[in-house]
Amino acid sequence: MNAPSDEFSAAVIDAPTPAGASKAATAAAPQRPTARFMWSHPAHSIALGFGSGLSPVAPGTAGTLWAWVAFVVFDRWLGDAGWGLLIAASALVGWWACTVTSRNLGTADSGHIVWDEVVAFWLILWLWTPAGLAAQALAFALFRFFDAAKPGPVAWADQAFKGFGARGGFGVMADDVVAAFCTLLTLALLQRWWA
């Protein structure tokens, strides 16, 4: 594991050193990101959902809400091809951003890293729309359930790629993509049942 350097930690992560703990031990310990940390590297800004991941309460939900708002705004200008390209590019860039940010935070899958929720929820909305506000809200609730509870295949994806480096960055993204497909499958089944 490549832990952040003492200078890097002191410069960008505002976390008090526990009494009796050495700086080296504290630098390797998982940290809670701050705005200063987020703006210190482009990967951090992306991985932390441009600030939505800094939420002190339910950062994954905050990141998903940010994704929803961004989708509504961008959907005015992006067609299907545009969304496909944006989601594919965001997944690749997110892999890199999550890898770098996980390493610099000193934790393999921080709950404050929310780019995985952003990309996964964009994928859901892109494939599920046109859908009204109620249908989008149902998609939101189902996605949050699958992402948080991690049933079956989501739990497998979450555990299969743990760690640091490119594998760990891929793992951060993978379980949310699986949660997105579980959400889409559930929505399709519900739609068929209600029809």
Q: pLDDT value at position 46?
A: 97
Q: Indicate the DSSP class of residue 46.
A: H
- Computed over every residue of the chain, the mean pLDDT equals 84
- Note the pLDDT of residue 194: 77
Q: How far apart are CA 62 and CA 21, in angstroms?
A: 33
pLDDT attached to residue 101: 94
Helix, strand, or coil here: 192?
Answer: helix
Q: Would you list the domain boundaries of the chain? A: 42-194
pLDDT digit string (tens) for 26-72? 344 567 899 999 999 999 999 999 999 999 999 999 999 999 999 99
Degrees, nearest 5: CA angle 151-153-155:
55
Each residue's pLDDT tens digit, 98-151: 999 999 999 888 999 999 999 999 999 999 888 889 999 999 999 999 999 999
Residues 68 and 121 sit within 8 Å (Cβ to Cβ): yes
Q: List, for residues 146-168, the tens digit of each pLDDT value.
A: 999 999 999 888 888 887 877 88
pLDDT of residue 129: 83
C-alpha pair distances (Å), 106 with each of 64, 129, 160: 23, 38, 19
